Amino acid sequence: AQSVTQLGSHVSVSEGALVLLRCNYSSSVPPYLFWYVQYPNQGLQLLLKYTSAATLVKGINGFEAEFKKSETSFHLTKPSAHMSDAAEYFCAVSLSSGGSYIPTFGRGTSLIVHP
Amino acid sequence: SQTIHQWPATLVQPVGSPLSLECTVEGTSNPNLYWYRQAAGRGLQLLFYSVGIGQISSEVPQNLSASRPQDRQFILSSKKLLLSDSGFYLCAWSPGTSGRPEQYFGPGTRLTVT
């Protein structure tokens, strides 16, 4: 079984401030982990993924995430927030099931960026 | 490159009417295909997934059904819509045999049942 918990349904930051979105997972085996971003009325876009290679994963738009097995965490960070980063962010965990991957998504965190 | 299309983009339907949403993928073969529903202010609920033509797995028993008549076509249907079927419907695909686990999403269909 696998599950994902995103701490905080809303995170508010000022433009230029550090962005930190938290994600903790539960999995019986080492999982694949993802962050997706969703802008209003659009589909989800893959930001980055962890697939058991480097624990620090760099993604698009200046985001990165670090896989910490001991903490079962995969938090998303960005050094300096831009207004254009305002969106919904989803963490997901995925395990193989008969050769296919069925992900479990967190409930999402809405990032609000103030000028 | 691969692209995924969904239509219609928006739909307003009365309760009790039928539904058909279509999703197609271009630029790849043998993809895994998924239908999700996203209710207002909530996360994603996986409705159906398919690993091949005619192979459909249902995650949540409900008023909806799915079909995959062609390799890169995935259809979500209902015979009689309920108010609770309103939401944002997302189709996604993932590489079927490459071992890559990430998903790629379509632009979505906003369904309002009145």
What pLDDT, in 10s, does the model give residues A67-79? 998 999 999 999 9
Instruction: Tell me which chain B residues have a C-beta less than 8 angstroms from the C-beta of A100.
Output: 32, 49, 51, 94, 96
Interface test with A, best of B4, B32, B38 (most A CBs within 10 A): B38
Q: Does B49 touch chain A (CB under 8 A)?
A: yes
Neighbours of B84 (CB within 10 A): 11
Residue A39 has pLDDT above 90, yes or no: yes
Task: Report helix, strand or coil for A85.
Answer: helix
Of A15-19, A83-87, B36-40, minimum mean pLDDT range? B36-40
Determine the residue among A3, A101, A104 to mutate to test chain B binding: the one whose Cβ has the most chain B Cβ atoms within 10 Å.
Answer: A101
* Residue in chain A nearest B31 by alpha carbon: A100
Q: For A100, name the nearest residue in chain B, comparing CA atoms only.
A: B96
pLDDT at B62 over 90: no
Residue A100 to residue B90, Cβ atoms within 8 A:
no
**What is the bridge-based pairing of β-strands A32-38 and A44-50?**
antiparallel
Sequence letter at residue A64: E
pLDDT of res. B13: 97
**Separation of alpha carbons A24 and A22, rounded Å:** 7
Residue A43 to residue B102, Cβ atoms within 8 A = no
Cα distance between residue B95 and residue A6, in whole Å: 26
Q: Which of A30, A6, A21 is nearest to A95 (CA)?
A: A30
A85-106 tens-digit pLDDT: 999 999 999 877 766 788 899 9
Using an 8 Å Cβ cutoff, are A20 and A72 in contact? no
